[in-house]
């Protein structure tokens, strides 16, 4: 007999092929959920299907580039056909961008907003008819600590996540009357493939994250807990929470701390 907080609930995760999304698939499956797994790398999605089926979940893998409207429409059609509705949408897919604001190519900035913001809006709108079929449905938007407080060399990425934060607040109010809750989960630095896939301004590359990293499993466990408790805003890692609080209480002082982080983060600048 399956057990757990999400028995029989259908959870769709974008960016389920690696990192936090893949760990979230395992964490929700362990709580009895059925999964719809979306990403571009199909062979990795098939591995995740095997992992979660081993935990007793039913899982559907859908190859989907969330920046392509036709892929997103097919994702929702396949979800509807196999499950008849959707209980939880996890908007997790994302890419990073590194480099000083002055050096970021406009094309890179647009790409980071396209994946992290515009595609999230597209997926959310397309999922709403399916979410409305299930009482107490939920949307979980994966942001970042950097969406709450900007750091040097991460301004383009932080700006896209700050846009997600603002959108989340509006959506939460707009959907409250329909009993669809909208949650925000903001991880700190997490050990995943994220930095390998990240776009870099020409000549810039990050040497190492300036703070200790969490594991994807830790983020996924916190996400499941937030989902179970309907916690509206989850900022992860103690340093992440301290950073947001310190910025609120003493922004000038935190600006000085932020300036010092540059030295820890930069590997080289080619001339």
Ligand X SMILES: NC(=O)c1ccc[n+]([C@@H]2O[C@H](COP(=O)([O-])OP(=O)(O)OC[C@H]3O[C@@H](n4cnc5c(N)ncnc54)[C@H](OP(=O)(O)O)[C@@H]3O)[C@@H](O)[C@H]2O)c1
Residues 227-256 that bind ligand X (CB under 6 A): none
For the question of residue 28 being annotated catalytic, the response is no
- Smallest separation, CB 20 to ligand X (Å): 4
Stretch that binds ligand X, among 25-33, 59-67, 250-258, 260-268 (CB under 6 A): 59-67
User: Does 200 sit near ligand X (CB under 6 A)?
Assistant: no
Q: Count the alpha carbons within 13 Å of 230 in the hemisphere toward its beta carbon.
A: 8
Provide the β-strand partners of residue 234. Answer: 185
Q: Which is nearer to ligand X, 55 or 236 (CB)?
A: 236
What are the E-state strand segments in the chain? 10-14, 34-39, 59-63, 88-91, 97-98, 138-142, 181-186, 190-191, 199-200, 204-206, 214-215, 233-235, 266-269
Contact 87, 11 (CB under 8 A): yes
Three-state secondary structure call for residue 179: coil
Residue 76 makes contact with ligand X by CB under 6 A: no
Q: Is 17 in the site for ligand X (CB under 6 A)?
A: yes
189 binds ligand X (CB under 6 A): yes
Q: Which two tokens stand for residue 146?
A: 């950097």
Choose, by CB under 6 A, the member of 9, 10, 19, 227 that binds ligand X. Answer: 19
Instruction: Please identify, using beta-carbon distances, which residue of 189 and 204 lies nearer to ligand X.
Output: 189
Is residue 246 within 8 A of residue 254, CB to CB? The reply is yes
Measured N-to-C along each axis, helices 155-175 and 119-131 cross at an angle, to the nearest 10 degrees, of: 20
Nearest to 149 by CA among 249, 28, 247, 14: 247
**Of 117, 157, 189, 204, catalytic:** 157
Nearest distance, CB of residue 158 and ligand X, angstroms = 10
The residue (of 39 and 109) whose beta carbon lies closer to ligand X is 39
Q: Binding to ligand X by residue 5, rule CB under 6 A?
A: no
Chain contacts with ligand X (rule: CB under 6 A) = 14-15, 17-21, 39-41, 44, 64-67, 92-95, 115, 142, 144, 187, 189-190, 192-194, 197, 216
Annotated catalytic residues are 157
């Amino acid at each position: 007999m399956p057990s757990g907080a999400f028995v029989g609930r259908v959870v769709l995760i974008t960016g389920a092929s690696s990192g936090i999304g893949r760990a979230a698939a395992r964490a929700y499956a362990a709580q009895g959920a059925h999964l719809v797994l979306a990403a571009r790398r199909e062979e990795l999605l098939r591995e995740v299907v095997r992992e979660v089926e081993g935990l007793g979940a039913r899982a559907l893998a859908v190859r989907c580039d969330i920046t392509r409207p036709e892929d997103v429409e097919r994702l929702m059609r396949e979800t509807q056909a196999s499950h008849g509705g959707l209980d939880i949408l996890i908007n997790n897919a994302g890419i990073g961008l590194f480099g000083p604001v002055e050096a970021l190519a406009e094309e890179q900035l647009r790409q980071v907003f396209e994946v992290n913001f515009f595609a999230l809006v597209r997926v959310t709108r397309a999922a709403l008819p399916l979410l409305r079929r299930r009482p107490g449905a939920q949307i979980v938007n994966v942001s970042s600590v950097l969406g709450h407080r900007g750091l040097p060399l991460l301004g383009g990425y932080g700006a896209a996540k700050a846009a997600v934060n603002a959108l989340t607040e509006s959506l939460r109010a707009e959907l409250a009357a329909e009993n669809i809750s909208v949650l925000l989960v903001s991880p700190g630095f997490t050990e995943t493939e994220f930095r390998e896939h990240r776009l870099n301004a020409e000549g810039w590359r990050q040497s190492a994250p300036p703070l200790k990293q969490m594991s994807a499993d830790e983020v996924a466990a916190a996400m499941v807990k937030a989902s179970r408790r309907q916690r509206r805003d989850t900022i992860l890692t103690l340093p992440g929470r301290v950073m947001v609080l310190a910025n609120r209480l003493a922004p000038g002082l935190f600006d000085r701390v932020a300036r010092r982080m540059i030295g820890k983060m930069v590997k080289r600048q080619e001339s």
